[in-house]
Structure 1
Amino acid sequence: MSHSPQPDWDPRSQAVLDNQIAAYDRMRGRCPVAHSEYLHWSVFRHTDVLRVLEDHASFSNAVSRHPAVPNGMDPPGHTAYRALIEPYFAPERVRAFEPACRDIATDLVNRLPAGGEVELMGGFARDFALRIQCAFMGWPAGLHEPLRQWTRRNQEATLSGDRAATADVALEFDGFVRDLLDMRRQAGDAAPDDVTTRLLRERIGGRPLTDEEIVSIVRNWTVGELGTIAASVGILVHYLAAHPDLQSRLRGDRSILPAAIDEILRIHAPLIANRRITTRAVEIGGRRLEAGARLSLIWASANRDEAVFGDPDAFRLDRDPAHNLLYGAGIHVCPGAELARLELRVVVEELLARTRRIALVLERPPVRAMYPAGGFSSLALRIDRCS
């Protein structure tokens, strides 16, 4: 009879909740593969995370009881679905989306107050993530408010740890997608030529995708996108407000913006972790894990590993981008990485072009998000918009 090991740490302790990233930095040095009741095995070091990513024979992505296409799949099944979705994020499609992306970013910046305080997360970042995702998917503006409310309920259910509530919220999102599919079927040839319609016409192994497969693909694209893009916007704008010299440099030289964005999000991760499960007994980081052991890969730690990056808080534009695990690595690297990079570059460009100054509100410090979210749940800034 196997017994769970004694916990090495408590991810829900106040010390961790106060500053997740600082806590992960401590764990990386003290106990690089650590057990807890909440997260099972957590992997903190860059080298160990890379090993898990590359050894999909020993570390499986099939961690959920529910289908997750394709990121919850392993080869060979994963391969065909991955080949199906990659063209949706082809460079030419990403470039073609830039004008619509810029229009949304411009509109939101122009709606900011001309001067004074702004609560950036609720008043800007989440709106940007919501509108940008709906635009990319070809969804109507009428879905903005239902999705906004759904996102709030999803966050509340996730933080509560209530599995029944989480399942109910997931079913509600699935209903949104099924309604969109039904409308496109009823429209026939008059259906809009967008991502959702194109998924209806896809085939895998000689057959059409099932509704369950389409719902899973769209859920994976959308649920992660809404949270991660909003978190990224908050992290980026906070960093620029806290580092006025860099803000000034970027206002004068936008060419370094893509590298700067990736580096800021390496320092402060928008996505904290992903899960895996062992298919056989393995040893990693000096610990023995049995088959069926559940792991959390802590991106927010691996991307700050001193063995790879030196001082993890040092902002440097000359780092090897191959070391940055912001979008993962290996066969499961994020297929939408270039789309996300475009969206974040455009929104920061528009903020810098249409404002004179972005500053912290010292009397209202930011409220950090709680696991599994990264970034901030509330962020007060003073933004002076150009007249």
Structure 2
Amino acid sequence: MSSDFDPLQPETFDSPHETYAALRSHCPVAHTDAWGGFWALTKHDDVAAAATNSDLFITSKQNVIPKVAFTGRRPPLHLDPPEHTPYRRAIAPLLTSRKVARFEPIIREICAALLAPMVERGGGDICTEFSSRMPVLTFARWMNLPPDQVETLAEVGRRFNVAVQSADEVGTKESSLFLYDMARSVVADRKANPLDVDEDLTTSLLAARVDGEPLPEDMIVGMIRQVLVVGIIAPTVLIGSICVHLSRDRALQSQLRGDRSLVPAAIDEFLRLYTPYRGFARTAVEDVTIRGRTISAGEPIALVYASANRDEEVFEDADQFRLNRPNIKDSIHFGRGVHHCPGAALARLELIVALEEILARTNGFSLAGEPVPTRMPEIGALHVPLTFE
């Protein structure tokens, strides 16, 4: 089968959105031979329909394109219902808006500490020095890790992040295996010293029962390994993309700095405009025809959220930033259906606090060089050099 697009071609920060706009217009269900071949759904309705139909479109065969998982299955992302359900049930109560709200001062403290040396120097790479570290440190606190493990996770998480984005297969495997060792250590410690099941994920997983039986320990380890890095890459990329946008739109930057009550709504629109994922995958369990093209059972399908959220048939002036967009709830940046991101409330809080702190600690900022784009499965900025005013 011939390729409708080439995801391996060199990209700039903006060029992927141009590619997806062309596909939405002329080839909304596209195929490429890259990475062994896969389909890409680029229209909002098609992406939303596939994401919500977990019976027809499964995630257990392949959950991301290109495939980056080298070791065991990691719940809940790698599983389908009903196997997926007990793990989701264990994590969801710990990530409600009420539960994560108490982390606001912690996130603010982390942001202030990371920004301080950048402010003193008059700038730096907002991704490398700030956004790649902030979510790791936040998740470590949410996971109740001891201080020595927090620092270790911060460094290994950063290495994993860079390796994945640099297509460094050796580095990705090495850092992933180290994270598995950390997960085993956390599980062993919680077995010996359990915490409150309402405040600690590992303790909650160990206490969970299905038909009276505990969850398999290797799957608990897999989930802890997943959680240790699940929230690292997306905030890194998205905060970088936000800083690119605000460097280009100084009027909006000044508006948000002057009235930081607008930041939460701005974050919602930035999540739509710069959705950091474009390669979450599903596999159809039977042949399926979408917009006249037949996808055979077993073929991987990328749900291109970043394209869906710029679909002109759903969002007016879809490539433009609009504060308080009336149909912002139609954005599917956190996914849909059973795999809707359980950490959405914490991720949104991180982004709000991060932008508030960047604005509060600078009089202005601008690009000090060209942003370096990330690569599939993410979309956005991996390196953003800034000058602080």
Q: Same fold (TM over 0.5)?
A: yes
Do residues 232 (structure 1) and 238 (structure 2) align? yes
Cα distance in structure 2, aligned partners of 1:76 and 1:196? 20
Do residues 29 (structure 1) and 25 (structure 2) align? yes
For residue 196 of structure 1, give the secondary structure of its aligned residue in structure 2.
Answer: helix
Cα distance in structure 1, aligned partners of 2:195 and 2:159? 35
Work out whether residues 277 and 306 of structure 2, in 8 Å CA contact, stay in contact via their aligned partners in 1. Answer: yes
Work out whether residues 13 and 381 of structure 2, in 8 Å CA contact, stay in contact via their aligned partners in 1. Answer: no
Aligned to 2:202: 196
Deviates more, 1:270-279 or 1:309-318: 309-318
Cα distance in structure 1, aligned partners of 2:33 and 2:318? 28
Do residues 350 (structure 1) and 348 (structure 2) align? no
Match 2:304 to one of 298, 309, 323: 298
Cα distance in structure 1, aligned partners of 2:176 and 2:133? 21
Cα distance in structure 1, aligned partners of 2:161 and 2:382? 14
Aligned to 1:140: 146
Q: How many correspondences in the alignment?
A: 377
Aligned to 2:167: 160
| 1:174 CA displacement | 1.0
Work out whether residues 161 and 232 of structure 2, in 8 Å CA contact, stay in contact via their aligned partners in 1. Answer: no
Amino acid at match of 1:375: G
| 1:27 CA displacement | 1.8
Aligned to 2:52: 54
Matched ranges for 1:318-357 at <5 A: 318-357=325-364
Specify whether residues 109 and 180 from structure 1 end up closer, same or farther in structure 2 by C-alpha distance, changes over 3 A only.
same
Amino acid at match of 1:311: D
Aligned to 2:381: 376
Cα distance in structure 2, aligned partners of 1:24 and 1:357? 32
Specify whether residues 257 and 76 from structure 1 end up closer, same or farther in structure 2 by C-alpha distance, changes over 3 A only.
same
Amino acid at match of 1:372: P
| 1:169 CA displacement | 4.1
Matched ranges for 1:177-256 at <5 A: 177-187=183-193, 194-256=200-262
Amino acid at match of 1:26: A
Cα-to-partner distance string for 1:65-109 (whole Å, 9 max, x where unaligned): 842312222233333332222101122211122221221122222
| 1:298 CA displacement | 0.8
For residue 240 of structure 1, give the secondary structure of its aligned residue in structure 2.
Answer: helix
Specify whether residues 155 and 117 from structure 1 end up closer, same or farther in structure 2 by C-alpha distance, changes over 3 A only.
closer
Aligned to 2:61: 63
Do residues 107 (structure 1) and 113 (structure 2) align? yes
Cα distance in structure 2, aligned partners of 1:158 and 1:118? 19
For residue 371 of structure 1, give the secondary structure of its aligned residue in structure 2.
Answer: coil
For residue 276 of structure 1, give the secondary structure of its aligned residue in structure 2.
Answer: strand
Amino acid at match of 2:98: E
| 1:206 CA displacement | 2.4
Do residues 10 (structure 1) and 10 (structure 2) align? no
TM-score of the superposed pair, with normalisation by structure 2: 0.88
Cα-to-partner distance string for 1:298-321 (whole Å, 9 max, x where unaligned): 111111111111322211122313
Cα distance in structure 2, aligned partners of 1:221 and 1:242? 34
Cα distance in structure 2, aligned partners of 1:168 and 1:108? 26
Amino acid at match of 2:386: L
Cα distance in structure 2, aligned partners of 1:121 and 1:15? 18
Deviates more, 1:10-19 or 1:255-264: 10-19
| 1:185 CA displacement | 3.0
Cα-to-partner distance string for 1:195-235 (whole Å, 9 max, x where unaligned): 33443333333222332222222233232211112112212
Specify whether residues 241 and 150 from structure 1 end up closer, same or farther in structure 2 by C-alpha distance, changes over 3 A only.
same
| 1:279 CA displacement | 0.5
Cα distance in structure 2, aligned partners of 1:166 and 1:355? 35
Cα distance in structure 2, aligned partners of 1:93 and 1:40? 39
Do residues 117 (structure 1) and 123 (structure 2) align? yes
Do residues 367 (structure 1) and 372 (structure 2) align? yes
| 1:145 CA displacement | 4.8
Cα distance in structure 1, aligned partners of 2:229 and 2:235? 10
Match 1:259 to one of 265, 276, 279: 265
Q: Alpha carbon RMSD of aligned pairs, Å? A: 2.6
Work out whether residues 235 and 376 of structure 1, in 8 Å CA contact, stay in contact via their aligned partners in 2. Answer: yes
Cα distance in structure 1, aligned partners of 2:123 and 2:158? 24
Task: Give aligned-pair identity as a percent.
Answer: 33
Aligned to 1:176: 182
Cα distance in structure 1, aligned partners of 2:165 and 2:360? 36
Cα distance in structure 2, aligned partners of 1:119 and 1:17? 15
For residue 114 of structure 1, give the secondary structure of its aligned residue in structure 2.
Answer: helix
- 5+ unaligned residues in a row in structure 2: which ranges? 63-68
For residue 77 of structure 1, give the secondary structure of its aligned residue in structure 2.
Answer: coil
Amino acid at match of 2:271: L
Amino acid at match of 1:333: H
Cα distance in structure 2, aligned partners of 1:217 and 1:260? 32
| 1:168 CA displacement | 4.9
| 1:54 CA displacement | 2.1
Deviates more, 1:79-88 or 1:283-292: 79-88
Cα distance in structure 2, aligned partners of 1:279 and 1:210? 26
Specify whether residues 168 and 328 from structure 1 end up closer, same or farther in structure 2 by C-alpha distance, changes over 3 A only.
same
TM-score of the superposed pair, with normalisation by structure 1: 0.89
Deviates more, 1:297-306 or 1:14-23: 14-23
Cα distance in structure 1, aligned partners of 2:22 and 2:149? 43
